[in-house]
Amino acid sequence: MAEKYPCRKITVNEVFTTLLRRYGPQGWWPILSKRNRGPYDSYGYHPNASKKPERKNIFEVALGAVLTQNTAWRNVITAMERMLETHVFSPEEVLRLREDALAECIRPSGYYNQKAKKLKILASAFIRNSWETNIPSRGELLELWGIGRETADSILLYAYGEPIFVVDAYTKRLFYRLGYIQEATTYDEVRNFTQDSLKRVFGETGIAGVFNEFHALIVYHGKVSCRKVPTCETCILHTSREETP
């Protein structure tokens, strides 16, 4: 009987190197406040770059991480453009604006009432703890109402360059089809499995950059190939292997 998903029998690091070779570096996280330097999808913030992350970029990543919860990224862009136009982009500005006005501003991102409350709480904690210079712990982020595992890890990896792999729906779907995990495998189990696998091959040095690119590549691959209804016939994770014996 044929495999349900023909992409099986490939290691985690082979998945990473194949995606990187075929799709190229994704350069996440897309940074809206630097859009003058290029379109969102081809310019990114690289946490491994030697320069320290700027305050506005840290908070912008956090904004995007909350706004993209169960939401298409294009809707996040629209919402964040509206925030820029309304001059609601810094933690102070988020706190200054009324919650109902903030909700109206971010309406295109969906769940806008919940997300307005989340952004208020996030901005408050950001200022209170000086998160522009102090890197928050995962526990500190998870204590906040509205910040769950993926959002916390996205902030730590993409805003601060911490070596933490972000697990999302695309990751679970791909890894399930690859046979790495079960549907019930928990978030932290997937995260530890991926981190350990990649560290074993690439070592600790610069591993945050690997986590950064891998997650971004998985999202891209999940959009173009490993979709809800996958196009396995053209999937690069097995076709490229058949070509090279």
224 touches DNA (CB under 7 A):
no
> Binding-site residue total for DNA (CB under 7 A)?
44
Interface characters, 88-127, with DNA (x: CB under 7 A): -------------------xx-xxxxxx------------
Question: Is 121 or 240 the residue whose CB approaches DNA more closely?
Answer: 121
Residue 78 touching DNA (CB under 7 A) = yes
| Rounded least distance, CB 228 to DNA, Å | 4
Footprint on residues 170-189 left by DNA (CB under 7 A): 170, 184, 186
Q: Can residue 169 be called a binding residue for DNA (CB under 7 A)?
A: yes
219 binds DNA (CB under 7 A): yes
Place of tokens 């809800």: 228
Please tell me whether residue 225 binds DNA under the rule CB under 7 A: no
Least CB distance to DNA at residue 118 (A): 8
Q: Is 150 in the site for DNA (CB under 7 A)?
A: yes
3-state SS record for the chain? CCCCCCCCCCCHHHHHHHHHHHHCCCCCCECHHHHHHCCHHHCECCCCCCCCCCHHHHHHHHHHHHHCCCCCHHHHHHHHHHHHHCCCCCHHHHHHCCHHHHHHHCHHHCCHHHHHHHHHHHHHHHHHCCCCCCCCCHHHHHHCCCCCHHHHHHHHHHHHCCCCCCCCHHHHHHHHHHCCCCCCCCHHHHHHHHHHHHHHHHCCCCHHHHHHHHHHHHHHHHHHCCCCCCCHHHCHHHHHHHHCC
The answer to the question of residue 18 lying near DNA (CB under 7 A) is no
Instruction: Give whichever of 46 and 115 is closer to DNA, judged by the CB atom.
Output: 115
Q: Amino acid letter at 235? A: C
Among 13, 17, 33, 75, contact with DNA (rule: CB under 7 A): 75
| Contact residues: DNA, CB under 7 A | 28-30, 64-65, 68-75, 78, 107-108, 110-115, 144-152, 154, 158, 166, 168-170, 184, 186, 219, 222-223, 227-228
